[in-house]
Amino acid sequence: MLQPKSKDYFLTWAAVGPQPICDCLDLSSRIENKNVPLINVPHWLGIDRALGAWGALNRAKASGMRSSGFLVADAGTVLSLTRVTSQGEFSGGQLVAGLRLQLLAMAQGAQDLTDPGLPFLVQEPFPCQTSEAMMRGSLQALLGALFEAKRLSGLPLWLCGGDSALLADLLREQSIEVFHYPNLVLEGMVDVQSRIIQAQDH
């Protein structure tokens, strides 16, 4: 954790849920949904989803990409799917248990299943080892959710988050186009922070 240089110095930050306990974080420095310039963002939406959508929208505009909207998938604890229009309007989404959450749920909720640990790639579609079968099945469930959401939306798929590299490789093996930018949430946060600073200077 970064330490403040003085009592007057606070980090700009964002968090899903309650404020983390740290002397260098102040509520007045917290980025919330109201700070993200998307249209019709509900107050209950996770800030990570709002920032990821904003990051994708900015990247798409900067690259000159033309589309009727975007589907932003953040592959973290939960795989969040957020639909956003080309005008930057929040347009719903889906939530699916992420890779580690699926594995933990099986290990804790079913007899004789053990958490296989950190995610790893399993190429065999029907592995014999239980740990590999758990991993392959969980990955396949996420891939199915991504494929179906992309099919239903008809929109470009933008992928970010901790498990995004693994999923991006598997999607590309199936010739599914994906825009993989693992740090979209942080990129969105940097842009929002810059806007806040500019507004304060004026």
Q: How many CB atoms lie within 10 A of CB 96?
A: 19
Q: Are residues 86 and 68 in contact, defined by beta-carbon separation less than 8 angstroms?
A: yes
Give residue for tokens 């309007």. 89
User: Does residue 55 fall inside a structural domain?
Assistant: yes
Closest to 178 (Cα-Cα) out of 156, 161, 153, 163: 156
Total of domains in the chain = 1
The CATH number of residue 57's host domain is 3.30.420.40
User: Does residue 132 fall inside a structural domain?
Assistant: yes
pLDDT at 139 over 80: yes
Q: Are residues 57 and 84 in contact, defined by beta-carbon separation less than 8 angstroms?
A: yes
- The DSSP annotation for 28-52 comes to GGB--GGGS--BS--TTS-HHHHHH
Cβ contacts of 68 within 8 Å, gap of 6 or more: 85, 86, 154, 155
- Residue 65 confidence (pLDDT): 85
pLDDT in tens, 161-194: 999 999 999 999 999 999 999 999 999 999 988 8
Instruction: Residue 169: give the domain boundaries.
Output: 31-191
User: Does residue 82 fall inside a structural domain?
Assistant: yes
pLDDT in tens, 143-153: 999 999 999 99
pLDDT in tens, 34-54: 999 999 999 999 999 999 999
**pTM score, two decimals?**
0.88
User: Does residue 198 fall inside a structural domain?
Assistant: no
